[in-house]
Structure 1
Amino acid sequence: MVESAARKGQKNEQPALLDTELEHLPPELRWREWMGRVEAVIFAASTPVTRETLVRVVGRHCNIELIIDDIRAELAGRPYELVSVAGGWQHRTKKAFGDVIRAATGQGDSSRPLSQSEALVLMCIAYFQPITRGELSSFFGKEVSRDMIGVLRSQDLIASGPRSPQPGAPYTYVTTKAFLSYFGFDTLRDLPDFEALEDAGLLSKEKLLAGDIPVGLPSGEGDDLSG
Structure 2
Amino acid sequence: MAEPEAAGKTRISRTKDTSERLLDRELADVPPELRWREWMLRVEAVIFAAAEPVGRETLARVVGKDCSIDLLIDDLCAELRDRPYEIVFVAGGWQHRTRSRFAVPIRASQASTRSAAPALSDFEAMVLMAIAYFQPTTRGDLSKIFGKEVSRDTIASLRNANFLASGPRSPTPGAPYTYVTTKHFLSAFGLQTLRDLPDVEALEDAGLLSRKGVQEEVLVAVEGEEE
Shared topology, TM-score over 0.5?
yes
Kindly indicate whether the alpha-carbon contact (under 8 Å) linking 1:140 and 1:213 is maintained by their aligned counterparts in 2: no
Kindly indicate whether the alpha-carbon contact (under 8 Å) linking 2:90 and 2:190 is maintained by their aligned counterparts in 1: yes
Kindly indicate whether the alpha-carbon contact (under 8 Å) linking 1:117 and 1:216 is maintained by their aligned counterparts in 2: no
The two structures have a TM-score, normalised by structure 2, of 0.80
Q: Which amino acid aligns with 1:53?
A: T
Aligned to 1:157: 163
- Return the structure number with greater relative CO, CA threshold 8 A, min gap 6: 1
More helix by share: 2
2:176 aligned with 1:141:
no
**Partners of 2:141 and 2:60 in 1: CA distance:** 42
Where does 1:37-48 land on structure 2 (aligned, <5 Å)?
A: 37-48=42-53
Aligned to 1:69: 74
**Secondary structure of 1:83's match?**
strand
**Partners of 1:94 and 1:153 in 2: CA distance:** 28
Q: Which amino acid aligns with 1:222?
A: G
Aligned to 1:215: 218
**Partners of 2:180 and 2:76 in 1: CA distance:** 33
- Deviation, 1:195, is 2.9
Root-mean-square deviation (CA, aligned residues, Å) is 2.7
Kindly indicate whether the alpha-carbon contact (under 8 Å) linking 2:162 and 2:182 is maintained by their aligned counterparts in 1: yes
Which has the larger Rg? Answer: 1
1:62-101 deviation per Cα after TM superposition (whole angstroms, max 9, x unaligned): 1111111110110010111111122211112222223333
The two structures have a TM-score, normalised by structure 1, of 0.80
Aligned to 1:8: none
**Is there any run of 5+ residues in structure 2 with no aligned partner, and where?**
1-13
**Partners of 2:131 and 2:119 in 1: CA distance:** 18
Q: How many residues align?
A: 209
2:184 aligned with 1:181:
no
- Deviation, 1:31, is 1.5
Aligned to 2:203: 197
Measured at CA, do residues 179 and 218 of structure 1 come closer, stay the same or move farther in structure 2, by a change above 3 Å? closer
Kindly indicate whether the alpha-carbon contact (under 8 Å) linking 2:123 and 2:221 is maintained by their aligned counterparts in 1: no
Task: Tell me which of 53, 58, 70 is aligned to 2:58.
Answer: 53
